[in-house]
Homo-oligomer: A and B are copies of this chain.
């Protein structure tokens, strides 16, 4: 599999009453009315009205109101290099396939970086290499080495899978950081797919699931990729 296009991503869970819940949260802060009355009022059935308020609150940076929404993704066909980056987002929840407990029986799956994929000679060597790793791994486990130790030979390219959950505030933060061209291509493509899955369900989120430079109005990295100019200070 090519690393950069093959992440499988599916949104498997989002809250019932998503908009209504955020809308109720936003209005509760500024209203003499109880959240339950707000939740049951006419406006809480008027999608356009709710969206208008929610967008204004998010634009003002009052992100705590969107923490009430958590979504879950089933993710597979990403490399362990990529998952090591993803799990560094400490506001997320993960259940990842364990290399301690799941023993590889045949050739393990792996992801090929695009730069290697494009070079047919290197690509062939890469595939041969992965075959040899697999043979050695199986030799080790057949010699009685437990999976948790045999995995010492498995490469960063090895595929992994996980269920990952995060709230909307963290989802926007994740997009801001990982859609930036400074992020490695594999995680950038993964996060792009996560955003795509979510936008399919909630198109209004499109404006927020963007690289950080779109949010800031300038690039805050040392060098810009050209999308936005570096801030002049």
Contact = CB atoms under 8 A, between A and B. Distances in A.
Interface of A: 3, 8, 10, 12-18, 20-21, 24-26, 28-32, 34-36, 39, 59-61, 64-65, 67-68, 70, 72, 74-77, 79-81, 84, 87-88, 90-91, 93-102, 104-105, 110-116, 119, 122, 125-126, 129, 132-133, 136, 139-140, 143-146, 148-149, 151-157, 161-163, 165, 167, 184, 216-218, 220-222, 231, 233
B70 A24 contact: no
Contacts of A218: 217
Contact of A97 (B14, B31, B231): B31
A196 to B, nearest CB: 16
Given A36-B8, A163-B35, A152 B101 contact: no
**Lowest 4 A-B CB distances belong to which pairs?**
A67-B93, A113-B149, A25-B95, A35-B74
Given A26-B95, A152-B156, 10 more contacts: A3-B152, A28-B74, A64-B93, A79-B152, A84-B84, A110-B152, A113-B149, A116-B140, A122-B143, A217-B233
Contact of A116 (B76, B115, B145): B145
A156 B157 contact: no
B149 A116 contact: yes
Contact of A152 (B67, B116, B136): B116
Contact of A12 (B20, B31, B67, B156): B20
29 contacts: A10-B39, A12-B20, A12-B24, A12-B39, A15-B15, A15-B70, A24-B74, A28-B74, A30-B102, A31-B97, A59-B220, A60-B220, A60-B221, A61-B221, A64-B94, A67-B93, A68-B93, A81-B99, A84-B87, A88-B94, A115-B144, A115-B145, A115-B149, A116-B152, A122-B140, A132-B132, A152-B155, A153-B157, A217-B217
Contact of A129 (B26, B153, B156): B153
A135 to B, nearest CB: 10
A90 B28 CA distance: 20
A83 to B, nearest CB: 8
B161 A34 contact: yes
Contact of A16 (B10, B13, B95, B97): B13
